[in-house]
Chains A and B, each alone.
Chain A
Amino acid sequence: MTVVRFWAMGREGEVVTSLIPDFERTHPGVKIQVQDLPWSAAHEKLLTAFAGNSTPDVCQLGNTWVPEFVALHALEALDAKLGSSPAIDRPDYFAGIWDTNIIDGALYGIPWYVDTRLLFYRRDLLAQAGFDAPPRSWSEWQRMLAAIKARSGSDRFGVLLPLNEFEPLLVLALQQPEPLLADDGRKGNFESAGFRRTLAFYVDMFRRGFAPPLTNADVSNVWNEFARGYFSFYITGPWNIGEFKRRLPAELQQSWMTAPLPGPDGPGASIAGGSSLVIFSASRVKDAAWQWIEYLSQPDVQRRFHELTGDLPPRRATWSEPGLADDVYARAFRDQLERVKPAPKVPEWERIATELRLVAERTVHGDLTVDQAAAELDAHADRILEKRRWILSRRTSP
């Protein structure tokens, strides 16, 4: 009997147990042992497990954590296994999501579910302002925000961009052609024309009163405020489809919709988030672990997983299964997933993203100009990446 130790996080870890009986029936001799970690403790627990040589065989890993665990040499490269596996059809996966798992040309994870950010908006308020379709470009969006602001006065806003989240600014920044980090992740690239254009657009939304300078803590209940018309647009993720259905009053259910993100000139990119399935290099049952990943990657298993969690599947085939194909709110996500980009793939990214949020907050409050903010971000990023530069320079010149 081969036992595969599988760590999963939060809701996914709870529901994945119901997918196990089918797997164990079709794979006699393999037993899956699930451990459910809370998201808030998962990262620490994984690093501690690595330090203590007690990593699991397979794990759900947030895809921004993949570079870090690759830097630790903790993950098994999966290219050989993928080559001999008909079950995982690479071209069927959304390209941006697949790309999050490729570090220095090698594949370290198989996408399990995807997460991205796009617009949730009030159709009725947009119609009252004279628009019958969501924006496709920044300039269109600005016109809509201006019209909504003109109609609603000073105590209501066009869009909610919570200052305690870096994601809204990050997705707008990913739409630019320039990467956020330059030189293979050695240096910050925030002084590029593209990022400064994004930051100026972002800050402008606050300066012109389209967005309130608030954090989520100040907006006690986003769904109530959205229902009340306090704001018309909200950049958020797929879990809010379920929340909006549950929490918005019945009379508003026909009045909200999702839309792909508008970009600088036409439909824009968004972030390729979500979780991947990885195999730890210390595992002694890699073949059985790979079978488990193959099983979880089958379109019909992914459809059941979507029904259990609401998580969006990373394969196009799964999206044409009944259920997802008829979900009007998921449609914008399907469209957006064709245009998603990974966050910079360096282990230090989460720290840099934290700085991004803090500097953006100060810029919105008027402490910094856009150019000063960009320079400060580059300084922060360069300091955080100092060790990476040193390591890379040693690797090339031993």
Chain B
Amino acid sequence: MTRQGAAWLFVGPALAVIGVFFFLPVLAALALSFTDFDIYALADLANLRVVGLRNYVELLQRSEFWNALGNTLYFVVAGIPISIGASLGMALLLHSRFTRFKPFFRTALFAPVVTTLVASAVVWRYLFNTRYGWLNYALGSLGLPAIDWLGNPHFSMPAIIIFAVWKNFGYNMIILLAGLQAIPEELYEAARIDGASIGRQFLYITLPMLWPMLSMVAILTVAGYFQLFAEPYVMTQGGPLQSTVSVLYLMYDEGFKWWNLGSASSVAFVLFLLMFAVTAVQLRFARAGGAR
């Protein structure tokens, strides 16, 4: 057997699994997005029509879609800096020479990532409760008025962001911590001898050395945050006043509430194109930053 044949033999099973369980469904969904598959078609396939791009055209004309897109962008634009900032801050604290009980804090801060989302969402709903929640209790002790976190459309998305950041920052924190630990100590020593302050050390050593890690973390987080669904589904069911309906939530409603699988698939592909474009821009930024 040639080397190439052996290679195919080894990757074959994995490729077959990816093909059957990933590429095939994606292609089927793409095909579905050009049809008007709905409950009538579910009853009888003769009721299926190929409609070309109509699902896409209609989607772009729907105010619900733009509302959902706005909510998703709000979540992405506000949530990602906070999330990565929290991850980086915690990683720096964990890496610091002055921190004690490191293994304990590392585990404790990573714990939210491995808890089930639904269970922690239930706990957070108690924390967000207007009258009995600890969050409002804390606000009250600072002399601030109580906030109806999950009932007021202005605060529902911030509440979702707080919850999502708490749930996710530990994962990136571990990646960034590994990155910090890989930075050679000599660089800092040299900088200290040259009289660089802590801030300058961070700007000129830590950040550039961490740049590949940070770009990867940013790309993964953006991809994850665009797919916001479970948090609003469990916490607010999209309300109040549609303020937490994300694009994926819209797709879920369209597909599994109304069973318009054709137009639901078109939502999925519009989201895919959007994420693809954003990630492409990010990759260019990451390369430019790396080359600097």
- Interface check B231, CB cutoff 8 A: no
| In the complex, chain A residues whose CB is within 8 Å of the CB of B49 | 390
Contact A71 B36 (CB under 8 A): no
| In the complex, chain A residues whose CB is within 8 Å of the CB of B38 | 387
Contact B39 A215 (CB under 8 A): no
Question: How distant is B266 from chain A, measured CB to nearest CB, in Å?
Answer: 15
The complex places the Cα of A43 from the Cα of B44 at a distance, in Å, of: 20
The complex places the Cα of A48 from the Cα of B38 at a distance, in Å, of: 13
- With A44-B256, A390-B49 already in contact, the answer to whether A217 and B241 are too (CB < 8 A) is yes
- Interface check B43, CB cutoff 8 A: yes
- With A43-B257, A44-B256, A44-B257 already in contact, the answer to whether A72 and B39 are too (CB < 8 A) is yes
The complex places the Cα of A48 from the Cα of B240 at a distance, in Å, of: 27
Question: How distant is A313 from chain B, measured CB to nearest CB, in Å?
Answer: 30
Interface size on B, residues (CB 8 A): 22
- Interface check A84, CB cutoff 8 A: no
- Interface check B280, CB cutoff 8 A: no
The complex places the Cα of A391 from the Cα of B153 at a distance, in Å, of: 40
| In the complex, chain B residues whose CB is within 8 Å of the CB of A14 | none
- Which 8 A-B pairs rank lowest in CB-CB distance, beginning with the nearest? A72-B43, A217-B240, A44-B256, A217-B151, A73-B43, A47-B259, A391-B40, A72-B39
Contact A215 B240 (CB under 8 A): yes
Q: Among the listed A40, A72, A164, A387, which residue makes an inter-chain contact with B36, where contact means beta carbons less than 8 Å apart? A: A387
Give residues in B with beta carbon < 8 Å to A.
36, 38-40, 42-44, 47, 49, 130, 148, 151-153, 237, 239-241, 256-259
Q: Among the listed A51, A220, A351, A388, which residue makes an inter-chain contact with B42, where contact means beta carbons less than 8 Å apart? A: A51
Question: How distant is A163 from chain B, measured CB to nearest CB, in Å?
Answer: 9
Question: How distant is B160 from chain A, measured CB to nearest CB, in Å?
Answer: 16
- With A40-B237, A217-B240 already in contact, the answer to whether A72 and B42 are too (CB < 8 A) is yes
Question: How distant is A176 from chain B, measured CB to nearest CB, in Å?
Answer: 27
The complex places the Cα of A390 from the Cα of B54 at a distance, in Å, of: 16
- Interface check A347, CB cutoff 8 A: yes
Apart from A217-B153, A217-B239: 18 A-B pairs, beta carbons within 8 A: A44-B256, A44-B257, A68-B39, A71-B39, A71-B40, A72-B39, A73-B43, A164-B241, A215-B240, A215-B241, A217-B151, A217-B152, A217-B241, A220-B148, A220-B151, A387-B38, A387-B40, A391-B47
The complex places the Cα of A95 from the Cα of B240 at a distance, in Å, of: 37
| In the complex, chain A residues whose CB is within 8 Å of the CB of B40 | 71, 347, 387-388, 391
- Interface check A131, CB cutoff 8 A: no
- Interface check A50, CB cutoff 8 A: yes
Query: Among residues 178 to 233 in chain A, which have CB atoms less than 8 Å away from a CB atom of chain B?
Result: 215, 217, 220
| In the complex, chain A residues whose CB is within 8 Å of the CB of B151 | 217, 220
Query: Among residues 16 to 44 in chain A, which have CB atoms less than 8 Å away from a CB atom of chain B?
Result: 40, 43-44
The complex places the Cα of A3 from the Cα of B234 at a distance, in Å, of: 35
Contact A71 B43 (CB under 8 A): yes
The complex places the Cα of A73 from the Cα of B44 at a distance, in Å, of: 9
Point out which of A215, A217, A347 has the most chain B C-beta atoms below 10 A from its C-beta. Answer: A217
- 5 CB-based A-B contacts, threshold 8 Å: A47-B42, A71-B40, A74-B43, A215-B241, A220-B148
| In the complex, chain A residues whose CB is within 8 Å of the CB of B39 | 47, 68, 71-72, 347
The complex places the Cα of A164 from the Cα of B259 at a distance, in Å, of: 23
| In the complex, chain A residues whose CB is within 8 Å of the CB of B258 | 351
Question: How distant is B186 from chain A, measured CB to nearest CB, in Å?
Answer: 59
| In the complex, chain B residues whose CB is within 8 Å of the CB of A74 | 43
Q: CB-nearest residue of chain B relative to A68? A: B39
A354-398 to B contact mask, C-beta < 8 Å, 1/0:
000000000000000000000000000000000110110000000
| In the complex, chain B residues whose CB is within 8 Å of the CB of A220 | 130, 148, 151
| In the complex, chain A residues whose CB is within 8 Å of the CB of B44 | 73
The complex places the Cα of A47 from the Cα of B36 at a distance, in Å, of: 17
Point out which of A40, A50, A74, A387 has the most chain B C-beta atoms below 10 A from its C-beta. Answer: A387
Q: CB-nearest residue of chain B relative to A388? A: B40
Q: CB-nearest residue of chain B relative to A163? A: B241
| In the complex, chain B residues whose CB is within 8 Å of the CB of A72 | 39, 42-43
Question: How distant is A164 from chain B, measured CB to nearest CB, in Å?
Answer: 8
Q: CB-nearest residue of chain A relative to B43? A: A72
The complex places the Cα of A220 from the Cα of B44 at a distance, in Å, of: 46
| In the complex, chain B residues whose CB is within 8 Å of the CB of A47 | 39, 42, 256, 259
The complex places the Cα of A220 from the Cα of B256 at a distance, in Å, of: 30
The complex places the Cα of A47 from the Cα of B151 at a distance, in Å, of: 30
The complex places the Cα of A72 from the Cα of B49 at a distance, in Å, of: 17
The complex places the Cα of A388 from the Cα of B41 at a distance, in Å, of: 11
The complex places the Cα of A220 from the Cα of B152 at a distance, in Å, of: 11
Question: How distant is A358 from chain B, measured CB to nearest CB, in Å?
Answer: 9
Query: Among residues 43 to 94 in chain A, which have CB atoms less than 8 Å away from a CB atom of chain B?
Result: 43-44, 47-48, 50-51, 68, 71-74
The complex places the Cα of A140 from the Cα of B38 at a distance, in Å, of: 46
A258-301 to B contact mask, C-beta < 8 Å, 1/0:
00000000000000000000000000000000000000000000
